Amino acid sequence: MTGVFNPMHFIAALFQATTLDEAFAAYERQMQALGVESVMYTFVPQIYLDAHLSIVPLFKTSGSYSPGFLKHYQEAGFEQHDFTVKKILQGESQLIDWWGESRKCHLSKHEQNIVVTAREDYGIRNGMTIPLQSGIGIGGISCISADKDAAYQRLLRERAEALFCCAQLFHAHVMTRPQLNAFFMTALLEKLSVKERRLLPFLITGLPMKTVISNLPKSTYS
């Protein structure tokens, strides 16, 4: 039934999943039941942020999550100007309504261009991002809605809490199960340069970057 969110049923579905694909499928079904058309899950480990490593965020998406826009987003390097990413890095914890932020007129030209491209070039009528924080990284779940503006605003008023809770449960479940978050960890490690791979074991110590760098063997940078 549309609009129904039973946390116990959803948690049971997550625990029955043995792979990230199965867990994401359970999450996608629940979000669609709440009235969201499609979803995209993004995660970046905290160690990459602390070390300022040059990586591209990884995505797990619904098949219907506008593949054309996602391709455009990646090829254009939109993550460099994505206001939702900036707000999450600044510690935002509340749901971010894309068009609501756009209407506030505080976005830069580059930030506004992402919104305009999504809506005008790819027909994404409405969207939101749910910030996700954890001890081992940050992320977000972006949701696309096919509802017109009035219906979308009603969706936010009536189901924002359920949407947020559902996203938090999914994220917490994935982050605490190595067999699920390995998808992100492995793929991100593969993107590291040789120098970054040499640096990583020293970063795991948890020491401040200044201390790590001052104690690195010279071979690390050769």
Tens-place pLDDT, residues 90-122: 889 999 999 999 988 889 999 999 999 999 999
Residue 137: predicted pLDDT: 77
Angle, CA 108 vertex, CA 94 and CA 128 arms, to 5°:
30
In the chain, domain spans = 36-200
The C-alpha atoms of residue 55 and residue 44 are separated, in whole angstroms, by: 9
Element (H, E) at 34: none
Q: Which of 15-19, 23-27, 173-177 has the lowest mean pLDDT?
A: 173-177
36 neighbors 114 (Cβ within 8 angstroms) = no
Average confidence (pLDDT) over 132-137? 78
Tell whether the model's pLDDT for residue 13 goes beyond 90: yes
Q: Would you tell me which CATH number, out of the four given (3.40.50.1950, 1.25.40.10, 3.30.450.80, 3.90.650.10), belongs to the domain 36-200? A: 3.30.450.80
28-84: pLDDT as tens digits:
999 999 999 999 998 887 766 776 666 567 788 998 899 999 999 989 989 889 999
CA distance 39 to 62: 6
